[in-house]
Structure 1
Amino acid sequence: MTFKTTLNKELEKYHLILGSTSPRRRQILAENFGITNFATIASNFPEDLAKSNVTPLAYVSLTSSKKAEAIYDTHRNTLEEKTLILTCDTIVTSNGKIFEKPMTKSEQAKFFEYFRAHGDVEVISAITVFKVENGKVSEYRDHAITKLSFRTDNDDIVNAYIESGEGLEVAGGFKYQQLGCLLFDSISGDYYNVVGLPTNTYTLLCKAVK
């Protein structure tokens, strides 16, 4: 199947780099956006920015930008003349608190206890595009916020989910696209933002190639 939109045609003029090795992001880019001609390069940015005195949105936006900057700085001497570097960073927040990737089941359980106490969970993604052309670098940014409502009557599901080990080493401790959807009553916003790459990424790429 071919999907020849104006963006697809314009992207033929560029070398597109997805600054991520996430299989979900690669899949969304190819299967949901119809963009298949891209390379993947992991960013070496340590993602260790301070979270105090900064909003979750500001934190994730700066992290995404720093990821793109790190790829550019590392590969600037070997980049093709016309290159696009696409990066994304996603965090999970509740009551203004940022939840990283739990490494143990006990840590994951504490996440869920907090979600139950406060109810609302937000998944925030920041996307960045560095456009390298004619020796100049332009930066484009956008973000997406999806709201989830954590179930309060789900002891059986929570316990089974923790024991399954599915949500370990994932932001917020759950994979909504798999068993993790059972932890929530509702979703408001972009589903693909929760999975890994928001749909407004497509619009941001359109702006970058104009």
Structure 2
Amino acid sequence: MTRLVLASASPARRTTLRAAGLDPVVVVSGVDESQLSDLPPAELALQLAELKCAAVAARDDLPADALVLGCDSVLELDGEALGKPHDPAEARRRWQAMRGRSGVLHSGHCLRDAATGRVAAATGSTTVHFADVSDEEIDAYVATGEPLEVAGAFTIDGIGGAFVTGIEGDHHNVVGVSLPLLRELVVELGHGWPDLWA
């Protein structure tokens, strides 16, 4: 079995990987995401994923055969990259701008083979359609705290799922890790997807 190391603190990513038969070791990268700015949203997601992967892959306490996965997600709305809101007021403004509209959730993926040093990276993009929620619904949702913890101020697999009316693309990508894309990266590095199953 090849060991997958997830360079992310996201419980949703870990849950998604576990449901797919993988049991990743979580090592938080500690990367300062504010060091990158003024990039197109898809490129920002990819470069942040690459930074997180590189930071964890540089550690000397990883299994020698580990595959290190860095991921990062941003929501693109009106050409702007939206990460996690910094406070409830920002989350409220975001939802007022997003309601009744569509955005594109970009998740950058970077996979490094610790044994060979080879890297494969790509961005998955999924269009997300948002419900025309009321101010009262926005206030109630923001009060749960969930929008403050996630890129784009929403989840599809949590409380916010009722406010997503549809998607075009990979559902898992919206959660934060595209399983089909990750499988392609694993194969690109010369491994078999079933080899990662726990």
Into which bin does the TM-score normalised by the smaller protein fall? 0.7 to 0.9
Which residue is equivalent to 1:85?
68
2:10 to 22, 37, 48: 22
Higher Cα radius of gyration:
1
1:187 to 167, 172, 184: 167
Q: How many angstroms apart in 1 are the aligned matches of 2:4 and 2:165?
A: 38
Which residue is equivalent to 1:130?
112
Query: What TM-score does the superposition give when structure 2 sets the normalisation length?
Result: 0.85
Residues 123-143 of structure 1, C-alpha deviations (whole Å, 9 max, x = no match): 11011111122xx41110122
Which residue is equivalent to 2:44?
59
Match of 2:107, as an amino acid? Answer: S
Query: What TM-score does the superposition give when structure 1 sets the normalisation length?
Result: 0.81
Which residue is equivalent to 1:112?
95
Note the residue ranges of structure 2 that are not aligned, 5 or more in a row: 192-198
SS in 2 for 1:48: helix
What is the CA RMSD across the aligned residues, in angstroms? 2.0
Note the residue ranges of structure 1 that are not aligned, 5 or more in a row: 1-11
Deviation at 1:62?
A: 0.8
SS in 2 for 1:168: helix
Which residue is equivalent to 2:25?
39
Residues 81-130 of structure 1, C-alpha deviations (whole Å, 9 max, x = no match): 3221111111112011111212322111111122248x221111011111
Which residue is equivalent to 1:95?
78
Q: How many angstroms apart in 2 are the aligned matches of 1:126 and 1:154?
A: 31
Relative to 1, partners in 2 of residues 1:161 and 1:16: Cα closer, same or farther, differing over 3 Å?
A: closer
Which residue is equivalent to 2:195?
none
Deviation at 1:28?
A: 1.1
Q: How many angstroms apart in 2 are the aligned matches of 1:174 and 1:81?
A: 36
CA contact (8 A) 1:157 1:183 kept: no
Residues 167-210 of structure 1, C-alpha deviations (whole Å, 9 max, x = no match): 22221111221221232332111111112211221232222234
CA contact (8 A) 1:154 1:183 kept: no
Question: Matched residues, percent identical?
Answer: 25
Q: How many angstroms apart in 2 are the aligned matches of 1:195 and 1:79?
A: 26
SS in 2 for 1:110: helix
SS in 2 for 1:88: strand
Aligned residues: 190
Match of 2:119, as an amino acid? Answer: E
Q: How many angstroms apart in 2 are the aligned matches of 1:25 and 1:184?
A: 19
